[in-house]
Every structure is written in C-alpha cells, then in structure tokens.
Chains A and B, each alone.
Chain A
Amino acid sequence: MSAELVGVIWVSLKVATVATLAILVPGVWLGHALARRRVPARVLVQTLVTLPLVLPPVAVGLLLLRLLSPLSWPGTWLAEVGPWLLTWKAAALAAATMSFPLLVRGAEAGFSSVSERTEAVALGLGLSRARVFWKVTLPLARAGILSGVLLAFARALGEFGATILVAGHISGETETLALGIYARIEAGDSDAAWALVGASMIIALLLGLLAERARMRSRA
C-alpha cells in the first residue's frame, strides 16, 4: 500500500480519535444528566443533541462553516488559537459534532440501566455522591458508555458531508477515508479506491470485535 494511502488511513484514525476524545467527557456528563437529573427544558436539550443525526450532514457542515468563519465571534475566538478552516482540526470538529448524539445516547442508556436503588444503598452506606458516581454508577454504566463511544468513533471515521465543507479535501491534512474514496472514484483510480474500502472494512471489523469483547466482558 502506498505511503499516500497509509497517510489517508492515518489522518482518518487521528481525526476520529481526537473527535471521540474531545466529546467523551461532555457526552458522558450530558448522558448522566439526562438519565438522572431534572434537566430544564429536557425536550429542547434532547432535540438539540439529536439535531446532527437528523439534519443532512452537509447542513451541519454549513452551520459549522458559519461558526468558524472569521465573521462570527466563535470564529474570531478560535482564530486566536490558530487557523481552523481547511485543517484536520476542522475535520475533527465536524466528526465530533456528528458523533456527539451517539455518545450521549449510549451514555444515557448506560446510566439509565443502573438501578437507582443500588446507588441509593451506596449512599445509605455513607459514601459521598462523588464516590458513588466513580465507584458504583460509572462502572455499572460502562457497557452503555462503551457502546456509545464505539458508535461515535465509527461515525467519526465515516464522516463525509460536514467534513468536506469545513475541512476541504487536502491530501495528507484533511483527506480521511471517506473523502479519499470519493476523490479516487472521481479521478477514476478504482484500485486505490478499493484499497481504501478494504482498509475501512478491516477497521470496521476490528471495531466490531472490540465492541463484542466489551459486551461479553460487561456481561460476565
């Protein structure tokens, strides 16, 4: 496999990993809040969280483009840290936005599956709320959170519509698997396209195995 193709895989994995890590804490936090706390305007929050799943990815891309533009205040603020548009960071932001609902939903399902009575008994033993969360709730919600993380990672890996708008197609910088396959088909290089499809399948297979192992473990 050529260095160029390896580069595509590398960018893809980097973008998906950074995107997943970036949404991990806020996603788990929001999932916990939705499952356990009295969230004001819950329906509105849930709708907003789900929005990227419902909207066409290109529409999300356009919204992000607006957000990152130097004309908007987040854009000016982000520009202080360095350029975003047409960089791999923009690709990661697009992937993170698209994956966020999946992580939140997984975490929410995970936390909802933990019996509130078990948590209450832990409190009844005199444990602090923080200790109950770290030692009882979080480990028991692990399976749901993990499945959310894996789905989010998979979604980030396959992101196309929003990514191409904000990150463009720059070989070695923003060219992910999805963009790479599309570009090679456009260029008539079907061998290279198939090689990338093969690589995608191998990664998908590994993710599937990982998910299954996590599921078996949490069952045991």
Chain B
Amino acid sequence: MNSLQLTGNCGAFNIVVSLQWNARVLALFGASGAGKSTVIEAMAGLRPALSGSWSMDGAVIPLRAGAGRGVAFAPQDALLFPHLSARGNIDLATRGRPRPDLANAAIEALELAALLDQPANVLSGGERQRVSFVRALAAAPRVLLLDEPFSALDWPLRQKALSFLVDCVQRTKLHVVFVSHDPIEVLAVAEEVAVLEAGKVLCCGAPAQVLHSAQALDALPRGAVENVFVLESARRDGDVVLVRTARGQELVMAAPSAECALPNRVGVSAEDVLLATGRPEGVSAQNVFAARVSSIEPAGTHTWVRLLAGDEAWTVRLTRRAVQQLALQPGVQVTLILKAHSIRAV
C-alpha cells in the first residue's frame, strides 16, 4: 500500500491531498491548473512549503529532495542542465556509477543516440523531454516521477515512449507516478488514476472506470477522446481500415497514411457521435449500429449519455435539448452513428 498526504497553500488554491493506492503505476489526472504538477513536485521534494507524508510499501520517503530517497523526477519543462550535453545531463544523474541498462534501453527506444553529444541548450522541446526522461531513469530510482513526460513529442514517438514505459514497469520493479491530462496516456500506462481538481482528489481507481465518471470527463479539455477502445484486429480495405475492438464491436475508420502502422487502439470524441431513435437510411456515415442508453448524467451546460453497444461502453456528449427531443431515458434503444473520419488512432 502506498499513501500520500499533502496540505498547504500553493498560491491559487489550497492543496489538500489524501491518497492511497496499490498499483505500481499511478496517474494524476485533471485539467490544467488542477494542482497535478504541484502535487508531483511536492513528491519530488521541490515544494518545501507543502507539508505531509509519503510512503511507498510502508517505507517513508521524505518530502525534501536530496540523496538517498530513491526517487527521480522529470519535470514538465524538462529543465536540462544548460551547461552540459545531453550525455552530460544523463550521466550526471548516475552519480558516477555506470549508466543503468534501463537508461541505455531508453536512449535506444527514444531515438536519442544521435543527439547525445548535442549541448542541452540547442535541443528542441521534444528532444529535451526525452533527455529529461532518460536522465531520470539514469538515476536508477525506485520511484519515477514524471510530469507530462511526453507532451511535446509527436504522436509516433509518443507511442514508442509510452510502450517503452509500460515495458519498463513490466520488466522491473519500478514504481511510476505520472501527471497527465491525456486520457489516452492514462489508459495506456496507468493501473490506477487519481483525478484532481483545485488541489483536491475527486476520485481514484481503475482508469477504465474512473475516466468514464462524469467528474473525470468534466476535467477533460473540449474535443478530447473520451471513448478509447483496445483493438483485437485491424485490416486495410481500400481507403478504410476495418477494426474489431477487444469486446467485439466492428468499426470502419478512415485509413491512416500508407507508411503508418495500423493502430492497436482507437479513440472517438464524445462530441463526434450522433444518436437517432430510428434506423436512418442513406447516410454517408460508415458506422451505424444499435445501442441501448444505460445512463444519463446532466453536467452543467451539457449532458453525458452513456450507452452500451454489444459489450462496448460509449460516452456521448449531447445538449439537454437533444436529450429531451429524443426522449432519451435509460433503457431506450437508439442507433449510434459515427463517421469513419471520427475514429482516430490513439
């Protein structure tokens, strides 16, 4: 059991965090300004103004940065040491010991080998983030703290980085706490997620459940991908890809460019889904299938409608007006309509 207690003022609001988790990978999730970075920086020992306690598997970790804590932190702004090369940054973290295999593997996986001799201050934002991530691994920590570690990376590289991180956790005993505002990242990497808002923990639990709660959905930026499906298969068919989700839903998505690999996860924004009470005829949308309303949750200016199509759960954002016009209620049968272009590889 791991636990974190934090209280104190951080300017905009008071931080009052009380968190318990069991998983090796915990995500701190929430909208910008929710206090995620403050919390992880406090864990990294950079916020002496906040008081509290932190323990991992019963071992207390002081909330004051320094040697011997077994913690390494990669901040959101990378903050490389500007007077050193990329290699110098990574090797400083090893404290004179040989570079750990994991750091070498990360250099390989994140395509950093060619950049090692570059001075840190000429690297691009994405390159800095990658070096900062490897630098944290080079410290051979027991607990790795990552603040939006791959936010500046382009999508293919980000996917590589995420699968490397997942692989890391599986192969080693590393614990990870990472901050993200991207549900895809959370679903891909985290085993548990805590949703933060204004310095407080709203809810904590398994990502698949927590991220579909209204509280978590409201923390998402507009146009985010609320529906993420793990794929069982995908195959090209002309200019579309026919995919089948792990729970058996078949979908038609527009094909990514030829050089891109076929996806193993797809996402659909809750705003992109249409509902109809009858079966529409002659629509261009490639995905038209039956679903049943399982719950309706009003939330401020909009309404979250949850549906079940086969075994796959969907979240759809509608206006209250639309819900009234269609007389939607839990249990009502509807048709779910989705353009091929609304399905994105994630």
Contacts and interface: CB of A to CB of B under 8 A. Distances in A.
Interface residues of B, number: 25
Contacts of A131: 67, 95
B75 interface: yes
Interface string A145-159: 000000000000000
B46 A120 contact: yes
Contact of B46 (A121, A129, A135): A121
Contacts of A142: 83
B92 A124 contact: no
Which among A118, A120, A126, A140 has the highest number of chain B CB atoms within 10 Å?
Answer: A126
A204 interface: no
Contacts of A125: 72-73, 92-93, 135-136, 139
A135 B66 CA distance: 15
Contacts of B68: 126
B65 A123 contact: yes
Contact of A124 (B65, B81, B83, B95): B65
Secondary structure at the A interface, as helix, strand, loop or mixed, is helix
B95 A126 contact: yes
B45 A123 contact: yes
Contacts of A136: 81, 92
B310 interface: no
B69 interface: yes
Contacts of B73: 121, 124-125
A127 B93 contact: yes
Interface string B288-303: 0000000000000000
Given A117-B46, A118-B81, A124-B65, A135 B92 contact: yes
| Best-buried of B65, B73, B135 by chain A (most CB within 10 Å) | B65
A33 interface: no
Contacts of A117: 46, 75, 79
Contacts of B139: 125-126
A124 B135 contact: no
A136 B70 CA distance: 20
A122 interface: yes
Interface in A90-142: 117-118, 120-129, 131, 135-136, 139-140, 142
A118 B79 CA distance: 6
A140 B70 contact: no
A140 B92 contact: no
B81 A126 contact: no
A124 B44 CA distance: 5
Nearest to B66: A123
Contacts of B141: 126
A124 B72 CA distance: 6
A5 to B, nearest CB: 42
Nearest to B135: A125
A121 B67 contact: no
Contact of A139 (B65, B66, B83): B83
Contacts of A126: 66-72, 93, 95, 139, 141
A128 B67 contact: yes
Given A126-B70, A128-B67, A121 B95 contact: no
Contacts of B67: 126-129, 131
A129 B69 CA distance: 13
Contact of A140 (B65, B83, B95, B136): B83
B331 interface: no
Interface in B11-58: 44-46
B82 interface: yes
Q: Which of A123, A136, A139, A140 has the most CB of B within 10 A?
A: A123
A126 B70 CA distance: 7
12 contacts: A120-B46, A121-B75, A123-B66, A124-B72, A125-B73, A125-B93, A126-B69, A126-B72, A126-B95, A126-B139, A127-B95, A135-B81
Interface of A: 117-118, 120-129, 131, 135-136, 139-140, 142
Interface of B: 44-46, 65-73, 75, 79, 81-83, 92-93, 95, 135-136, 139, 141, 145
Closest 7 CB pairs of A and B: A123-B65, A124-B73, A128-B67, A124-B44, A120-B46, A121-B79, A125-B93
